[in-house]
Structure 1
Amino acid sequence: MTPDVDPPLSHTETRDSQQTSAQASKELHQQCVDLLGEIDEFQSMLNSTLRNPQLVELRQFRSNVNSEFKMLQRLEEQMEASNSPDGSERDPDTEMRYLHALRSSNLPFYQAVWNIARGSCAGLLALGKRFYWDRKAWPLEEKKAQKGDGSWEKNKQPNKDKRKSVFVDIVADDGESWVKVSTVSESRLLFDMAKKGWERDSDSDAFSDEDGEGSPKRTVLRNFDGEDSGEDSDDDELELIKLARDLRKAADATRVRYRHPRLRIVLPKIAEGNVPEIDDVLKEMRSYGIKVECQDSISANASQAKLNSLLPQPFRNFTTAVNIDCTLLLAIVSDLSHVKDIAILPSFHKAIVRQIEVEKEQPLLPTELWPAMGARELLCTKEAAKRMCEIVETIGTETEKERMYLVLGNAPNDQLDRESLIRKFQSLSDWQVPVDWALPIRIVDAEPAIEAAKAEGKLPPVADEVAQVLSDINHSVFMYGWATSLTTISSNRTIDKQIEVTIENSRQVDGDAVEGPQVWICDTARSLVGKDKGRKS
């Protein structure tokens, strides 16, 4: 994340700039303080609104800005030490060196990244993340393993070749959009173009690779032609073209919810339409399917944009009705989800103890499940409802059974309206139950919908292969959501990943555009406490 720096200032330019090193240092120092303050403000928002604020990767970006702050402090100390005892000005050479050091600061680049994120992005997941293309092209997330307490941890990954990777400055739209920022100036870009052998012939078509009459408008020592031609091919390529190419390759090797990320490159110091040679470069960058924005199209209102617009928006694309898996039906009725102070008994399984501890830190329903469900219509398959009822009737406490009857609208609650169901449910919970929670959950027959979708060609051929690896209950839940294009919410990450892998392995046959079921995974679930164990009286 190194900024593009123009050549050092001459003595004349130093005098003409009419800005002393002390003034420049003071400005950069304050800008750094302001930027750190905004980052910390946003981190506080994450801490207060997200169940797991670490899902948004800010730490390295803040560390980089803080390192810049410390560098500026050290430089300021050196400048003060170099002042003449009699108060006279420094000699021009020393002053020029300090100005050049300040001018070479990384801070303007970090400010550009932050302002572009704040002014034009939503659903931020990372400020700085590396993506590779020398791996299997499916999940954005690293592979994970489930621990005994039901939570997930990352597996150790083998070392990867950084030469086959790209560093993305902003990962937004909950992972669906990548943004790269380059602060290269027009003068620096033209200098690099000349150095790399770019030439323009106004009488010929741009980027023609034909000899003779269609001679190329530019001469490039090396250029990407759709296939890797070895690592050395990068050495003679223009940096912006290499950046566009690498972004495309990494995006093609990555899928987020079955789709490749959208790509954007922002050039805040480049004006389009002024220099034909630069416009040619922009045109070639766009040929990789990348949106390229220059200074005239960048929002100038970043400072006025609200920081909360950057918060992740995991429920943004949910359907108006959601399909609930059995794992979360149990979480909705469990005492663990509703009783704030459950005494931990020696007879509790360690997974139960861990869930109690996690619940105290971040309660599942108020922070995640109720926001996910919102005011949407709620439904579940009859297989999921049946399995949930079997479990609750067998090992559930009396309060867990009462919640189940309310959630499903079973007798004696089958004649109650939504407001009455919520009032009764509120009496069984220590948390404030949302007044717009759409009880009762409607039970649906999955199989007719699945068969109809197959007959109408709404499911791809790989759906049959996916169905073969699913148990009866998972078949009803996940295939129903897929067949009806409804969002399925579940904590069963294993099944979700199994479906993804099956679909990705079939792409050579079924094509690149195939998408699986829309599934939202809750990273943690809740077991039932069990009869007479740690209940609130």
Structure 2
Amino acid sequence: MASTSGNAESDDAGVQSASSYNADELLARCRDLQEEVRQFGDHLAKAYDGYFQPDFPTRLHATFSNNLRAEVEAIRKHMESPDPTSIHHLSSSNLPFFQTVWDAAKRARGIVRLQCPVWPGPKKQAALAPGHRIILSQGSGQRKSGDSAFIIDVIADDGKSWLKVSTYSNNRLVHDCAKEGVFCGDSDEDDDDGPDADDFSDIPLVKTAQKLANTAQGYRIGTRSPTCYLILPGIFEGQDFAVDKILDICRHIGINMICGNAVPPAPLLSESVLSSMVPGPKAKISKVLNMDTSILIALASEFSNMKFEDLPSRIHRNKTHIDHAHLERKEPFLAQILLVLSDRELVCTKEAAAALSHIVNTIGTDAENARAHLLLNVDPTKTREQRIAELQGLSVHRIPACLQLPIRIVGMDDDDCQARFTAPIKECLAVLLNPARSVFSYGWAKSFTTVTCNGVAVKQLERDLEMSPTLELEWPSVWVIATSRPLVGIPRKAGFRRVRKHIGDCRITCTCGVEKLYASRSDVTIL
């Protein structure tokens, strides 16, 4: 049958075996399970619509879907085989294992991945676990030569919980104890120090628990290691002392053991269940949005607001401009951003507003200056409706009537909001250069979602925070747009100099590579 990477211990009756069903019933169960997984995939596509990582929905459940498909194909093959022994292969189907994993997923919240490979073994520093920090991430743990993957069946709670499923039964555990010659004693012989894991280290379930705990210790999510669970619907506590002893050993290792006594029935699949399984990134967006300079520039840009054929002919002599123009034809920026902005209140820091004003005043076209003015300028004589009408006259795209203009300009420490930051948080934020520092610190301090095209700054902040001491604050909320749009700008004059900025803290030594690329260029100013 199809491989399940060592997860499917379906050789006992702990979970209802496929042998209890005739072939037609088994195939009907396959179809039902596949239909629910298909509905899950449809929900993922909707939940992640417009997200800057378009492959995330597919990657979330691709391994599980493919393994299930292979299992169903194997079942069909054995059903159609004239070999009379094929019916015995059906009795050892791994379908009960897949059903148990899916049931665990339906009970979970905030799923990040199904059947995710992680890599055991010592690491020089903890790897980033898959999950949601500032943005959703697949993690950073890399396979090393000779390593075999350890499969986590469900990564949930935005990455903070690792769930591994086993179809072990009480009888199987007792058999394993006898096979390994392990004597569990009885309840009267317990010592006060708790069970000794070394005496039971050869029991397969204990091995799994130890490997799960050790692997999790090599990963971090939200400055902590993931919390680990073994889901054991076929094991029941209080029926056999040997079984209870082994469960205690696994708990002493650091694993939460969820046995059949405590496993609730899986809910029927519904829209509310799907939304609980994967709420989607849009569910985390705040009612007030904090706008980064990169978004303000893109909103004012000719690239975002004009047809390709109407752009100035001079852009066709600039490869970067050509790339932006072609990208805009393929993925219109306003179509992406306006869905997020909707009717939410919009704010930006003084530093972000000043950066936009400086850039458009320096190189912006008349239309780009006009758009920037409509976005930010506080003119009490101009109503929101008038701003939208004038902005519509400067764009080929529909500007929604609900757009909240002008964007309100705020101080990065209004209401002393940054007093809640600890010293480690301030150190991480200090690495960012302004205006990014003001933007991200204000959004975090006020619990507002920051909207940005600056994915580099987001990843840097995320990495630095993950390596910090335990953070008591909820992590910042950020919505990233995958691509930016620069200003088309006015034609260059003689003596024009390009400006390139350092990324990150390069005050002592340049680590971002800007100086290596541009230090020898006489037409470039490095900031």
TM-score range normalised by the length of the shorter chain: 0.7 to 0.9
CA contact (8 A) 2:449 2:476 kept: yes
Deviation at 1:322, TM superposition (A): 3.4
CA contact (8 A) 2:130 2:139 kept: no
Partner residue of 2:31?
A: 33
Of residues 115, 125, 130 in structure 2, which corresponds to 1:128? Answer: 115
* Distance (whole Å) between structure 2 residues aligned to residue 185 and residue 156 of structure 1: 32
CA contact (8 A) 2:285 2:479 kept: no
CA contact (8 A) 1:379 1:444 kept: yes
CA contact (8 A) 1:122 1:172 kept: yes
Change in 2 beyond 3 A, CA 1:137/1:358: farther
Partner residue of 2:350?
A: 382
Residues 20-47 of structure 1 show CA distances to partners (whole Å, capped at 9, x for unaligned) of xxx7322233333333343334334444
- Please tell me the root mean square deviation across aligned C-alpha atoms, in Å: 4.0
- Answering whether residue 346 of structure 2 is matched by residue 347 of structure 1, we say no
Q: How does 1:68-79 map to 2 (within 5 A)?
A: 68-78=71-81
* Distance (whole Å) between structure 2 residues aligned to residue 65 and residue 439 of structure 1: 50
CA contact (8 A) 2:130 2:138 kept: no
- Answering whether residue 128 of structure 2 is matched by residue 139 of structure 1, we say yes
Change in 2 beyond 3 A, CA 1:65/1:438: same
Unpaired stretches in structure 1, ≥5 consecutive residues: 9-13, 83-93, 143-151, 210-215, 224-235
Matched length: 466
Partner residue of 1:293?
A: 258
Partner residue of 1:469?
A: 431
Change in 2 beyond 3 A, CA 1:192/1:154: closer
Deviation at 1:383, TM superposition (A): 0.8
Of residues 71, 74, 93 in structure 2, which corresponds to 1:105? Answer: 93
Please give the secondary structure, in 2, of the residue aligned with 1:50. Answer: coil
AA of the residue aligned to 2:486: L
Residues 304-352 of structure 1 show CA distances to partners (whole Å, capped at 9, x for unaligned) of 4654554452244444433322112223333444557666766264444
AA of the residue aligned to 1:298: P
Residues 356-404 of structure 1 show CA distances to partners (whole Å, capped at 9, x for unaligned) of 444455544444x445445543322111111112223344444443433
- Answering whether residue 175 of structure 2 is matched by residue 175 of structure 1, we say no
Q: How does 1:319-330 map to 2 (within 5 A)?
A: 319-330=286-297
Q: How does 1:309-328 map to 2 (within 5 A)?
A: 309-311=276-278, 313-328=280-295
* Distance (whole Å) between structure 2 residues aligned to residue 337 and residue 204 of structure 1: 75
Deviation at 1:53, TM superposition (A): 3.9
TM-score (norm 1): 0.72
AA of the residue aligned to 2:91: R
Partner residue of 1:88?
A: none
Q: How does 1:32-431 map to 2 (within 5 A)?
A: 32-48=30-46, 49-51=48-50, 52-56=53-57, 57=59, 58-78=61-81, 81-82=82-83, 94=84, 97-117=85-105, 119-132=106-119, 134-135=122-123, 136-137=125-126, 139-140=128-129, 159=144, 162=147, 166-196=150-180, 197=182, 199-205=184-190, 208-209=192-193, 220-222=197-199, 236-287=201-252, 290-295=255-260, 296-304=262-270, 306-307=273-274, 309-311=276-278, 313-338=280-305, 347=316, 349-367=318-336, 369-373=337-341, 375-411=343-379, 414-416=380-382, 418=384, 421-422=387-388, 425=391, 428-429=394-395
AA of the residue aligned to 1:98: S
Please give the secondary structure, in 2, of the residue aligned with 1:297. Answer: coil
Residues 176-215 of structure 1 show CA distances to partners (whole Å, capped at 9, x for unaligned) of 4332222222322332244342514212557x44xxxxxx
Deviation at 1:66, TM superposition (A): 1.9
Unpaired stretches in structure 2, ≥5 consecutive residues: 132-136, 492-527
Deviation at 1:109, TM superposition (A): 1.5
Partner residue of 1:493?
A: 455
CA contact (8 A) 1:61 1:128 kept: yes
Identity %: 29
* Distance (whole Å) between structure 2 residues aligned to residue 281 and residue 340 of structure 1: 68
Please give the secondary structure, in 1, of the residue aligned with 2:483. Answer: coil
